[in-house]
Amino acid sequence: MHRIVVGLVVIGFALGVAGAQSPAPPPPLTEQQMAEAFDIYFDLCSGCHGPTRQGATGPELTYDTLGPKGEGFIRAVLYSGLPGGMPGWGSQGVLDDEEMALMAAYLLNPVPEPPLLSFEAIHDSWNLIRPVEERPTEPQTTRDWRNYFGVILRDAGQVAIVDGDTYELVALLDTGYAIHILRSSRDGRYYQAVGRDGKASLIDLWTEVPEVVAEARPCLDARSIESSKMDGYVNDYIIEGCYWPPHFVVMDGLTLEPLKLVSTVTYDRGRGERVDAARVAAIVASEHSPEWIVSIKEAGQTWIVDYSRLEAEGQPLGVTILDTELFLHDGGWVTGGRYFIVAANNEDKLVVIDTHDNSLEAVIDVHALPHPGRGANWVDPEHGPVWATGHLGSDHLTVVGVDPEGHPDTAWHVVRELETPYTGNLFVKTHEASPWLIADATMSIHPQGPSSLCAWRKDDLENSRTCWQVEGAAEQSARMVHIEFNADGSEFWVSAWAPMDKESFIVVYDSQTLEELHRIEDEWLVTPTGKFNVNNTANDVY
């Protein structure tokens, strides 16, 4: 009954029924309640709605926007979620009734000022666990470390290193809170991990059992990390981009010693309003120049950061600023490493950056809320080299032409739209050794969406869609999320991401037949999300 009433309130709002009364004043909260709600907000909401609740992927959450709708409406949305990505925190059992009431009241109160972080405090957070001279000079393991998978165990704040040949757990390492992603150094030896709490961890894979060799906390809230990848600079530097405070920090690539802090407070595309909460989203490293391509989300800018002069006394980082599109989020390289495509997700656009001449190459209109992860590259039989993204807000995958020299007519145009059975896709992936393009539907609000996967044959995209329910996933309330191939592309792994009190697992599929080959199931496998194969992450295979 409760569910039905809540559902009706949500539908009522969607139809514009709610919100006719004049807004009630913000409900009073004690200091302790504000602090508790601040932590929940930071944990569950700020990623989409912004640290100052100004809105980004999700809408603005302030008294101005929510006051007219009232507490009942907010609680209903918190319970049921909304199509297009807002999770149902209540229906998923993440928030209980008391917490939803607290959050509804909190969101009607004035936005508290989030704390800042000085360079000194960042430097104080630095912890060098194993100095470089005490590290091995060659791999100490007989395992094929290039086929390791680093598996994010989100709510355990850990990374599991799993042997991709034997499926054995090689190491379980403590990292940042609500750990988000891993990236690999270009030589594959190190993983860089970033937690939502901003903690960076450097993981050495050459010791017999992989270990965390350095840590630092350059941000209070973060999603992205990357290393220097150009020849001559490999492992020299690591950059971490912050969601909060609005800055990025460059660290030493082998020790994580913080070296340079750069504020990202800027103006909306250089001419609009000043953006105080300009967050750093996707960062990629060029292999042909000493540069990182840094997405400044709320400013609608792409910063190309040249790290080659960092060692010179008094020399700043060189930053080229491109005005691009608002709400840059995630993206990946087009094979070849010249073009970087990033989703301007709340603008329903893809932005293409040419990293040879550091310019905005194209902006492509697509369906609602593109969410590529790093996207997927392959050669289409008709259109040549293409790259694909899924969408959080639309039941499509979009395929765009990416070959301006060989296929100028279709370059940076949508060449195919593939229908998916559900909205709420998060990741797509392929590998040149597999005939298939794979997609999840993690954020679908359809009862069967999150436990399903779909695949399309790349040589017959229009006629070959095959979708299946993953056995046992729905029973564990698990959402299938994030596809990753092994080093030779013969298998792909997908996480069944269940709540803490249920059983998560990873399914290993044959990349030719889509047949299930193996399940990784064990006590240590707590809330697995992203998986990063060393070879594929180091070499940008996707």
Query: For binding to ligand DHE (CB under 6 A), which residues are involved?
Result: 47-48, 57, 154, 180-181, 223-224, 281-283, 329-330, 373-374, 426, 481-482, 529-530
Q: How far is the CB of 537 from ligand DHE (least distance, A)?
A: 8
Residue (of 198, 203, 201) closest to 217 by Cα position: 198
Q: How far is the CB of 328 from ligand DHE (least distance, A)?
A: 8
Tell me if residue 467 is catalytic: no
What residue number has its CB nearest to ligand DHE?
A: 47
Q: Which amino acid is at 431?
A: H
- Which C-beta is closer to ligand DHE: that of 70 or that of 530? 530
- Which C-beta is closer to ligand DHE: that of 330 or that of 380? 330
- Which C-beta is closer to ligand DHE: that of 180 or that of 383? 180
- Which C-beta is closer to ligand DHE: that of 154 or that of 189? 154
Q: How far is the CB of 162 from ligand DHE (least distance, A)?
A: 15
- Which C-beta is closer to ligand DHE: that of 71 or that of 330? 330
Enclosing H/E stretch for 120:
helix 119-124
CB < 8 Å & 24+ apart, contacts of 73-76? 73/9, 73/13, 73/18, 73/19, 74/103, 74/104, 74/107, 74/108, 75/6, 75/100, 75/101, 75/104, 76/6, 76/7, 76/9, 76/10, 76/13
Enclosing H/E stretch for 336:
none
Tell me if residue 454 is catalytic: no
Pairing mode of beta strands 414-419, 396-401: antiparallel
Annotated catalytic residue, options 367, 371, 383, 391: 371
Annotated catalytic residue, options 180, 247, 329, 482: 329
Structural tokens at position 295: 């997405």
Structural tokens at position 375: 């996207």
Phi, psi of 80 (to 5 degrees): -95, -20
Q: How far is the CB of 122 from ligand DHE (least distance, A)?
A: 19
Tell me if residue 247 is catalytic: no
Place of tokens 């409406």: 73
Tell me if residue 180 is catalytic: no
Q: How far is the CB of 225 from ligand DHE (least distance, A)?
A: 7
CB atoms within 10 A of CB 151: 27
Enclosing H/E stretch for 75:
helix 70-80
Residue (of 290, 258, 287, 315) closest to 121 by Cα position: 258
Tell me if residue 49 is catalytic: yes
Q: How far is the CB of 406 from ligand DHE (least distance, A)?
A: 27
- Which C-beta is closer to ligand DHE: that of 71 or that of 325? 325
CA–CA distance, 223 with 121 (Å, rounded to integer): 20
* 68 touches 101 (CB < 8 A): no
Tell me if residue 86 is catalytic: yes
Residues with a known catalytic role: 45, 48-49, 86, 329, 371
